[in-house]
Amino acid sequence: MTSDDNRREAFRLMDEIALTLKPIESAQLEHTLAHFDQRRMDFGLLSRLKYGAEKYLPEMRLIEHRYPEIAAYLKFLEQQLEVLSSHIGGCAEAAEALHRQQVELSAVGVRFTYPKVLDVGSHVETTLVLFPQQIRILMIMKLVRVEPQNDGSYAVSGEFVCVHEEDREALIKHVHRRQIEELRRDSAS
């Protein structure tokens, strides 16, 4: 393997996430991409609410400073919306039922272990659940490397080729947050 084969575009870290894959047939790829935004809207209600709350964080801080009682009530409403959206989308139960696994995660791709062989160059609809926030991200991933392992499983590397901007931002923030946690842990030891 040359250094060009293993070039990295973004910071990677080990993380525990839930990951599901749904292979996309070549003939269906164009249709899947055309309907991706609608599928994403149906899928990630809780993630969209969290992104919206983060977007207005400066305004919320101003309200907290000037009107603490109103800010407390707005936070209560936000929590209630999160609970409601979790139950509407089935996020709470689904996230607990999903199989968590260790992966190598970055803002542009993921490396994970999979029990079956997958074709390099193929596309898969991918669901990521990032913990502990339970942020759910739907994306299309292109498989760039599939390597057999000694235990019969496969090490699979994929590049995120279709991710909504809000979800990419959430993923970047998650990776950054985890990176800071690792640095703090390393400096404490």
Domain with 179 in it: what CATH number? 2.40.10.220
Q: Does the residue 79 lie in any domain?
A: no
Q: pLDDT of the chain along its 189 residues, tens only?
A: 444 455 556 678 999 999 989 999 988 988 888 888 877 776 666 666 766 777 888 998 999 999 999 989 988 988 887 777 666 655 544 544 467 899 999 999 999 999 999 999 999 999 898 888 778 899 999 999 999 999 999 999 999 999 998 889 889 999 999 999 988 888 887
Buried b (16+ CB within 10 A) or exposed e, 53-63: eeeeeeeeeeb
Q: Does the residue 141 lie in any domain?
A: yes
User: Total domain count for the chain?
Assistant: 1
Q: Does the residue 24 lie in any domain?
A: yes
Q: Taking the model in full, what pTM does it have?
A: 0.71
Domain that holds residue 128: 13-42+93-188
Q: Does the residue 136 lie in any domain?
A: yes
Q: Does the residue 48 lie in any domain?
A: no
Shortest CA distance to 141 belongs to which of 15, 12, 33?
Answer: 33
- Provide the terminal-to-terminal Cα distance of the chain, rounded to the nearest Å: 34
Residue 188 DSSP label: H
